[in-house]
Structure 1
Amino acid sequence: MADVRNTAVLFFLNRTCFNGLYRVNSKGHFNVPFGRYNQPVICHPHTILADSQLLARVTILQGDFAEVLSQVPDRSFFYFDPPYKPLSKTAAFNAYATETFDDAAQQRLAAMCRTLDFQQSPWLLSNSDLHNEDTTDTYFDDLYAGFTIRRVQAKRSINSKAEGRGKLSELLISNYATEPAALLV
Structure 2
Amino acid sequence: MPQNAVVKKKAVVPKPFVKWAGGKGNLLQQLEALLPTNFDDLENVTYIEPFVGGGAMLFHMLQHHKCIKRAVINDINADLIRSYYLIANEPQILIDRLNDIEENYFSVDYPERRDLYYAYRERYNSEGIHPDERAALFIFLNHTCFNGLHRVNAAGKFNVPYGRYKKPVICNEELIMADHRFLNSVELVIRQPGDYKLIKQNLSRNAPNFVYFDPPYRPINETSSFKEYSNDPFEDRQQEELKAFCDRLSNQNCLLMLSNSDSKTDNGDSYFEGLYQGYQFDRIMAPRFINANGEKRDKQPEVVIRNY
Fold-level match, TM-score > 0.5? yes
1:58 corresponds to which of 163, 188, 198: 188
Q: TM-score, normalised by structure 2?
A: 0.52
Give the 5 Å matches for 1:1-185: 2-56=130-184, 57-61=187-191, 62-74=193-205, 75-94=208-227, 97-130=230-263, 136-176=268-308
Please report how far the alpha carbon of residue 112 of structure 1 lies from its aligned counterpart in structure 2 after TM superposition: 0.5
Q: For the residues of structure 1 that align with 2:259 and 2:278, how far apart are their CA atoms?
A: 16
RMSD of equivalent CA atoms: 2.4
Unaligned runs of 5+ in 1: 177-185
Q: For the residues of structure 2 that align with 1:55 and 1:108, how far apart are their CA atoms?
A: 30
What letter is aligned with 2:257?
Answer: L
Q: Which piece of structure 1 moves more, 99-108 or 53-62? A: 53-62
**Is this contact kept in 1: 2:151–2:227, CA < 8 A?**
no
**Is this contact kept in 1: 2:150–2:228, CA < 8 A?**
no
Q: Deviations over 1:123-170 (max 9, x none)?
A: 221111126x99942210011122222211111110133332121111
Q: For the residues of structure 2 that align with 1:9 and 1:170, how far apart are their CA atoms?
A: 32
Change (3 A) 1:17 1:3: same
**Is this contact kept in 2: 1:17–1:35, CA < 8 A?**
yes
What letter is aligned with 1:147?
Answer: Y
Q: For the residues of structure 2 that align with 1:172 and 1:164, how far apart are their CA atoms?
A: 23
Q: Deviations over 1:50-74 (max 9, x none)?
A: 2122334322322112333134333
**Is this contact kept in 2: 1:95–1:101, CA < 8 A?**
no
Q: For the residues of structure 1 that align with 2:306 and 2:172, how far apart are their CA atoms?
A: 33
Once the two structures are aligned, what percentage of the paired residues are identical? 43
Q: For the residues of structure 2 that align with 1:123 and 1:54, how far apart are their CA atoms?
A: 24
Q: For the residues of structure 1 that align with 2:221 and 2:154, how far apart are their CA atoms?
A: 20
Q: Deviations over 1:32-85 (max 9, x none)?
A: 111121111113222211212233432232211233313433343222221110
For the pair shown, the structure with the greater C-alpha radius of gyration is 2
What letter is aligned with 1:99?
Answer: D
Does the residue aligned with 1:11 lie in a helix, a strand or coil? helix
Q: Provide the aligned length of Structure 1 versus Structure 2.
A: 175
Please report how far the alpha carbon of residue 29 of structure 1 lies from its aligned counterpart in structure 2 after TM superposition: 1.3
Q: TM-score, normalised by structure 1?
A: 0.83
**Is this contact kept in 2: 1:15–1:40, CA < 8 A?**
yes
Relative CO higher for 1 or 2, CA cutoff 8 Å, sep ≥ 6? Answer: 2
**Is this contact kept in 1: 2:152–2:227, CA < 8 A?**
no
| Corresponding residue number in structure 2 for 1:179 | none
Does the residue aligned with 2:223 lie in a helix, a strand or coil? helix
Does the residue aligned with 1:93 lie in a helix, a strand or coil? coil
Unaligned runs of 5+ in 2: 1-92, 94-129
